[in-house]
A and B are shown apart, each in its own frame.
Chain A
Amino acid sequence: MTTPSAPAPALELRGVSCAFGAHAVFDGIDLTIPPGQMVALLGPSGAGKTTLLRILAGTLPPGRGTVRVLGAELGRLSARQLRRLRQRVGFLYQTDALVPGLRTVHNVLIGRLGHWSLLRSLLSLVWPQEVERARAALAAVGIPEKLHAPVAALSGGQRQRVAIARLLAQDSELILADEPAAALDPRLRRATIELLVRLARERGRTCLVSLHDLELMGAGFDRVLALRHGRWFFDGPPGGLDAARIAELFAEERARGVEPDA
C-alpha cells in the first residue's frame, strides 16, 4: 500500500490478531493511515472498533502482529517510551472523559500533565498553570466562558467540547476517538464531530474516529473504514459507501434488533 517515498505512516497495523478467550475479534488485519488523514471507523456493535482503538493506544496488547504508532513499534517500547509516545497521542472517549469534582480549567489542563513535573501538577491544583492555553483551547471549541465552571454545571455537549479542548491543550500529533458523540443528543452529534475534524485538520493532525452512526458521514472525513466480523468490509472515500453496502454492513445488527428504536 505504501511506496518507499511516502512519509512514514501515522498508524500501521500488520497482521494483527486479538482474541478474548476463545472469541477472536480480529484475525490478521492490516491498516495504514498516512499523516494528516481524517479517518472514520464504522461498524456494527461488537465489530471491534473499541478493541482496535485500545490496541492502537497501547492499553491492550494484541495477540499477534505488529502495531506502529507515529513510527514506533508498540511491542518493542519500554514502559517509559510507551508513556512518552502516548503523550503525543490524544484520546477522546465516549463518556467519563471528564473528572468530576475538578473545575473545567483543570480538566482541560489534564492535557498538559505530560509536559509538567509532578510538583508543577500539584501546584496547578492550587494555582492553575498555563491558564492562557486552557482559555485559548476553550475558545477554539466555543465555550471560553466556562473556564471556571464545575463539571457538574456543564451540559453533555459542553462536556464533550471540554474533552476536545483538552486534546488541543495537549498538542498531540494523533487523535484517537471512540464514538465521541454517541452519548449526545442526535442534533449535537454532527456538530461535535464536525468541530473535532475541523480543529484537527486546521492543526494538521491525524485523526481516527470510530462512529456508530451513519448521520455523521458528511462531517468532512477523507476516508471511511468499515469493520465487520473482524475484517475490513470497506475502505475508501465516504462517497463510495452506497445504501446497499450500508444495509449489508448493519444487516445482522438490525436483525438482532440492537438499534435503540428497533
Chain B
Amino acid sequence: MPERLRGVLPLLAVLVLALLALALGEYDLAPLLDPQEFARAIGRAATFLSAFGAPELGSGFLATCVRLTLDTFAMAMAATGIAIVLGLALALCTSHNVVLGESRGARRLVLQALCESARVVQDILRGVPDFAWAVILIASLSLGPPAGVAALALNVSGILARVYSELFDAVPARLLEPLRASGATRLQTFCYGVVPACGSTLVSFTLLRWECAVRNAAVIGAVNAGGLGSEIKRSLDYGEYSKVLTLLACLLLLTVGSDLVSAFVRGRLAQDPDHPLARRGGERSPGAQRASVFLLILVLVALWAWAMLHCHAAWWGNQSLEDRWQSTVQLFGGLLAPDLSLLPRAFESAVVPLSMAFLGTLLAALGAAVLAYPASATFQLLDAGFTGERISGARRAVRAVLLAAARGVAIVSRSVPDVFWALLLVSFFRLGTMPGMVALAIHSLGLLIRLFAEGADAVPLRRLEVVHAASGSRAKTYLYGAIPPCASHWVANTFFQFESNVRSGIVLGIVGVQGLGFLFTATFEWFRMDQAGTYLLVMVLLSLGLDRLSRVLGLARARIQA
C-alpha cells in the first residue's frame, strides 16, 4: 500500500540521514552510555564548575563590565545597521520577482545572469562565518571593534540578503499581476505589491538576526575583536574564573534583554486581530501610526549612529591607511588563489560540521515540537477559548508554572551562544565532536521552541475548537489542530536553523579542534593562504548548495504566513 507509506517515508529518510551523520561524525558516546564513564564525566564537570566560585563584584571591575557590554552591544547594533542596508540592496539584485519582472527574451537572460552572479556574492558573504571573517579582517585591518563590526556586517548582510530575496520571490505572482497589468513600474510593483505581502515577516526576521548578531558579537570578541568576548577569553586563559562568571552574567543580561525587546516588537506585529494574544485597545489613526513609525526609525538611526561612533574610536589607531590597504590586498590575493589539490580533503573536513549541524538541529527540532506545547500560551492559559471548560485556580497556577518553565528553558538555552555551551560541555564530554553537537542542539532548541510556540499560538482558535470538540483532549488538539497547519512553517525554520548551524559547526570546529573551521584557522595562522583559501571555498560552496536546495524546495513560501 504505497499511499500508507507517505507518512513513513520522510521519517525513514531522516532516520537514515541521522544514522549516517552519527556514523560519520565520530561521536564519543561513552560518557552517556557507559555508567562508569558517566560518573567520571560528572566528576569532571563538577570540578570545572566548582572552579568558578563566586562572581567578582568589585566596583572597578563592574564598571569595566558595563563598558565591555556596551562595546559588544554597539558592535552588534552598528553591524546590523550596515547589514540591513547592504542586505536590502543585495536582495533587490538577487530577487527574480524584482529584477526580472515581466521582461522577456535576451533582456531576460541578461538580467537572469546578473541575478545569479549577485547571488554568488551573497553566498560568499553568508557562507564564510562571521568568526572566519573576523580572523581575516583582524589580520588585514586592525584589532578591535571595527574589524568585529565589519566581520559581523558582512556575514549578516549575506544572511539578510538571502532571506529578503527569498521572501520577495515567495510573493505569489497572482498578487503582483494586477499591479503589473495596470502599468506599474518595477519599483512601484515592489513597493505596493512585494513589500506589503512580506513586510512584517521581513521585520520580524531582521529582529531575530539582530538578536543573533548580539550573541555573535560576544563570540567573535574572542579573536581579539573587543567587547565581552575578548575579555571572557582572556580571563579563561588566565584562569580568572570569578571574572568569567561576572562577564557571562553580563552577556546573559545583554542577550536576554535583546531577546525580550525583540519579542515585544514582534508581538506588536502580530497579525490575527481576533486572537487573544493580539494587541488590544482602540484603533490608532493613520497619522498617529505614521508618526510613531517615524519616531521609531529616528530612534533606531540615532542608536546606530551612536554605535558606529562608539566602535569607530579604535579605528584610527597605529597603522596608516596605506599599510592596511597593502596588507589587505596581499591577504585576499592569497586567499583568492586557492590550492585546488586540497579540495578533496577540504570537502572531507566538511563532513564534521555537516554531521554536527544535522544531528544538533534534528534533536532540537524534536525537542522543540514537544516543548512548544507547554510553551504555548494558547494551550496552557487561553485554552478556555477553544474548550469552553472552566478550570480551577490551582490547575491554572500549575499551567502557568509549566509555561514559565518551558519558556525559561528556551530563553536560557538560546541566550547562551553555542560556542559557550560547547566550552561548558567540553568538561563533560571532553574535546571532540560531541560537545559541539550537543551545544548546537541546546542553542537551537531555545530558538526553535520560541518559533514553534509562536506558530502554535497563531492558529485560529476556531480551528482548535473543531478538533477539540471531536477529540476531547488538549494534547490531541495540539497534534491534529496545531501542528499540521504549522508543519511547513516549522520545517522551513528548521532548515534555516540547520543552515545556520552548519556555519556554527564550522566555528565550533575551532573549539573542538576538528573539521573545516579548525583547518581554516590553523592554515591561516601559519600564513598558508592558498590552503586557507581552499577551506573558505568549501564553506562558500556549502552555503551555496544549501541555499539552492532551499529555493528548489520552496521553503521560503511557508514563511510568509497567509
The answer to whether A100 and B471 have CB atoms under 8 Å apart is no
Q: Cβ of B288 < 8 Å from any Cβ of A?
A: no
Which among B84-92, B411-419, B445-453, B479-487 touches the partner chain? B479-487
Minimal Cβ-Cβ distance residue in A for B8: A126
A220 to B4, CA, bound (A): 38
The answer to whether A126 and B7 have CB atoms under 8 Å apart is yes
Residue of A57, A61, A93, A110 touching B480 (CB-CB under 8 A)? A110
- Contact residues in A for B480 (Cβ distance below 8 Å): 99, 102, 106, 110, 113, 121, 125
The answer to whether A58 and B388 have CB atoms under 8 Å apart is yes
- Contact residues in B for A114 (Cβ distance below 8 Å): 470-472
Q: Cβ of B460 < 8 Å from any Cβ of A?
A: yes
The answer to whether A113 and B388 have CB atoms under 8 Å apart is no
- Contact residues in B for A61 (Cβ distance below 8 Å): 388, 390
Residue of A82, A110, A125 touching B470 (CB-CB under 8 A)? A110
Instruction: Take A86-B472, A101-B485 as given contacts and tell me if A110 and B467 are in contact as well, using a CB distance cutoff of 8 Å.
Output: yes
A61 to B480, CA, bound (A): 26
**Residues 161-192 of A at the B interface (beta carbon under 8 Å):** 166, 170
A255 smallest CB distance to B (angstroms): 29
- Contact residues in A for B481 (Cβ distance below 8 Å): 99
The answer to whether A96 and B463 have CB atoms under 8 Å apart is yes
Q: Cβ of B462 < 8 Å from any Cβ of A?
A: yes
A103 to B389, CA, bound (A): 29
Residue of B3, B6, B465, B473 touching A59 (CB-CB under 8 A)? B465
- Contact residues in A for B487 (Cβ distance below 8 Å): 101
Among B3, B8, B11, B388, the most chain A Cβ lie within 10 Å of the Cβ of: B388
Q: Cβ of B268 < 8 Å from any Cβ of A?
A: no
Residue of B3, B11, B466, B485 touching A93 (CB-CB under 8 A)? B466
A61 to B388, CA, bound (A): 8
Q: Cβ of A60 < 8 Å from any Cβ of B?
A: yes
Minimal Cβ-Cβ distance residue in B for A90: B470
The answer to whether A121 and B484 have CB atoms under 8 Å apart is no
Q: Cβ of A111 < 8 Å from any Cβ of B?
A: yes
The answer to whether A131 and B4 have CB atoms under 8 Å apart is yes
The answer to whether A128 and B7 have CB atoms under 8 Å apart is yes
The answer to whether A113 and B466 have CB atoms under 8 Å apart is no
The answer to whether A111 and B470 have CB atoms under 8 Å apart is yes
The answer to whether A84 and B469 have CB atoms under 8 Å apart is no
Q: Cβ of A127 < 8 Å from any Cβ of B?
A: yes
Q: Cβ of A97 < 8 Å from any Cβ of B?
A: yes
- Contact residues in B for A111 (Cβ distance below 8 Å): 470
The answer to whether A128 and B4 have CB atoms under 8 Å apart is yes
A12 to B262, CA, bound (A): 51
A169 smallest CB distance to B (angstroms): 9
- Contact residues in A for B329 (Cβ distance below 8 Å): none
Instruction: Take A91-B466, A114-B471, A114-B472 as given contacts and tell me if A121 and B479 are in contact as well, using a CB distance cutoff of 8 Å.
Output: yes
Q: Cβ of A118 < 8 Å from any Cβ of B?
A: yes
- Contact residues in B for A118 (Cβ distance below 8 Å): 473, 475-476, 479
A184 to B4, CA, bound (A): 31
- Contact residues in A for B472 (Cβ distance below 8 Å): 83-84, 86-87, 113-114
B7 smallest CB distance to A (angstroms): 4
Instruction: Take A79-B389, A121-B479, A131-B4 as given contacts and tell me if A96 and B460 are in contact as well, using a CB distance cutoff of 8 Å.
Output: yes
A121 smallest CB distance to B (angstroms): 5
- Contact residues in B for A101 (Cβ distance below 8 Å): 484-488
A249 to B238, CA, bound (A): 87
A16 to B44, CA, bound (A): 69
Q: Cβ of A24 < 8 Å from any Cβ of B?
A: no
Instruction: Take A99-B463, A118-B475, A127-B8 as given contacts and tell me if A113 and B470 are in contact as well, using a CB distance cutoff of 8 Å.
Output: yes
Q: Cβ of B13 < 8 Å from any Cβ of A?
A: no
The answer to whether A100 and B388 have CB atoms under 8 Å apart is no
Q: Cβ of B391 < 8 Å from any Cβ of A?
A: yes
Q: Cβ of A14 < 8 Å from any Cβ of B?
A: no
Q: Cβ of A122 < 8 Å from any Cβ of B?
A: yes
The answer to whether A99 and B473 have CB atoms under 8 Å apart is no
Residue of B462, B479, B484 touching A96 (CB-CB under 8 A)? B462
A148 to B2, CA, bound (A): 11
A106 to B462, CA, bound (A): 18
A96 to B469, CA, bound (A): 13
- Contact residues in A for B465 (Cβ distance below 8 Å): 59
The answer to whether A122 and B485 have CB atoms under 8 Å apart is no
Residue of B4, B469, B471 touching A57 (CB-CB under 8 A)? B469
Return the CB mask of A139-169 against B: 1 if under 8 Å, else 0. Answer: 0000000011000000000000000001000
Q: What are 7 A-B contacts with C-beta separation under 8 Å?
A: A59-B469, A93-B466, A101-B484, A102-B480, A103-B6, A122-B479, A126-B8
Residues of A within 8 A of B (CB): 54, 57-61, 79, 82-84, 86-87, 89-91, 93, 96-97, 99-103, 106, 110-111, 113-114, 116, 118, 121-122, 125-128, 131, 147-148, 166, 170
A-B pairs, top 10 by smallest CB distance, nearest first, are A113-B471, A59-B388, A83-B472, A101-B484, A102-B484, A79-B389, A126-B7, A148-B3, A101-B485, A113-B476
For the A-B complex with A86-B469, A110-B466, A170-B470 known, give 14 more contacts whose Cβ atoms are closer than 8 Å.
A59-B386, A59-B387, A61-B388, A86-B472, A100-B485, A101-B485, A103-B6, A106-B484, A113-B470, A113-B476, A113-B480, A118-B473, A121-B480, A127-B4
